[in-house]
Amino acid sequence: MKGARQRLIISGYGGFVAGSIVWQALRSDQWDLYALTLTAPAEEQERFHVLPFDLCDVNRTRQVIADIRPDAVIHTAALADIDYCQTHQEEAERVNVGVTRELAQLCGDIGAKLILCSTDSVFDGVQGLYTEVDAPHPVNFYAETKVRAEEAVREHVEGGVIARLSLVMGLPVLGAGNSFLAKMIASLAQGEQVKFPANEIRTPVDVITVGRALLEIAAGPFAGILHLAGSTRLDRYEMACQIAERLGHSRDRVLATDSNAMAGRAPRPNDASLDNAKARRILRTPMRTLMDGFDLVMQTKEEQERAA
């Protein structure tokens, strides 16, 4: 029926990116939302349903997809700790590849659109400013699993989307998740120094923009690979220095490190920056500069606090 809301599944609810997607989707009347989670309790509201279960439970996953018959699925759930994945490869394979492959097959069977949240880490970091046509070349096991997850989407879902996210910056808007900015603000407020790698060049994108872009993709006709990245390219140390100064602290509070010189850690790509020209061309959602994205994050936090 014309004007009817679409059914949208978001996996990984309780995480950083999924929280932004859900928060923003609830502010429109476009979606009936179904949030799949390992960490949040069951919840039932008008237009919002939280379903707690393990996506590795294939039978449960199949039943959920069959019952909901979503128009679109945004798949954010993953094991994303690079060092953990390197030392727990069987688990990383099961979660990052196996779950994605199962979702891809199910979405392909019912004609649902699947949007996989992938990563800039699929590249080796030699070239930098990677475009959507550049071939992945992972340097750690986490990135290998994301490359295979991308392959599963391409194989099983006609009209599927691979959204490669650059370093995501922001504060949790729903749930918790892993926010480097939240940890940085807390450490600086306590008078501590913070450490960031100067060897890692990225194109950080704010979590509010990511949520908006993923919802726009879910509602639109785009299919294929898209890089969701900010419009500022810089190393993570300089990024932290600029954020510290914006927060009123001296950049001396930020210490430079080299992530590839630390013992016991999986290798990282040095320059995993992404070219966002395609996203800027096809999306209404703007890809922001570092400071514009930071300001949007802080404005959203203030908006939430006023509404609380």
């659109």: which residue's tokens?
113
The pTM of this model reads: 0.96
Q: How do residues 158-184 score in pLDDT, each as one tens digit?
A: 999 999 999 999 998 876 667 899 999
282 close to 222: Cβ distance less than 8 angstroms:
yes
- Distance (Å, whole) CA 210 – CA 293: 10
pLDDT at 3: 59
pLDDT at 175: 66
CA 108 to chain centre: 22
Q: Is residue 173 part of a domain?
A: yes
pLDDT at 192: 96
pLDDT at 2: 46
pLDDT at 115: 98
Residue 240 has pLDDT above 80, yes or no: yes
pLDDT at 1: 39
- Distance (Å, whole) CA 93 – CA 98: 6
Mean pLDDT, residues 198-207 taken together? 97
CA proximity to 9, closest of 59, 67, 56, 58: 67
Residue 220 has pLDDT above 90, yes or no: yes
Mean pLDDT, residues 56-71 taken together? 98
pLDDT at 176: 66
Mean pLDDT, residues 130-147 taken together? 98
Pairing of strands 234-235, 201-202: antiparallel
Mean pLDDT, residues 53-76 taken together? 98
Domain CATH number, residue 160: 3.40.50.720
Residue 29 has pLDDT above 70, yes or no: yes
In terms of residue numbers, what domain contains 162? Answer: 6-178+205-231+270-293
Q: Is residue 119 part of a domain?
A: yes
Going by pLDDT thresholds of 50, 70 and 90, the confidence category of residue 185 is very high
Q: Is residue 261 part of a domain?
A: no
Q: Is residue 305 part of a domain?
A: no
Q: Angle CA(302)–CA(303)–CA(304) in degrees, nearest 5? A: 90
**Counted domains in the chain:** 1
Neighbour-count burial for 30-55, b at 16+ CB within 10 Å, e otherwise: ebbbbbbbeebeeeeeeeebbbeeeb
Q: Is residue 68 part of a domain?
A: yes
Q: Is residue 307 part of a domain?
A: no
Q: Is residue 45 part of a domain?
A: yes
Q: Is residue 183 part of a domain?
A: no
Q: What percent of the chain has pLDDT over 70?
A: 98
Q: What percent of the chain has pLDDT over 90?
A: 89
Q: Angle CA(102)–CA(106)–CA(109) in degrees, nearest 5? A: 140
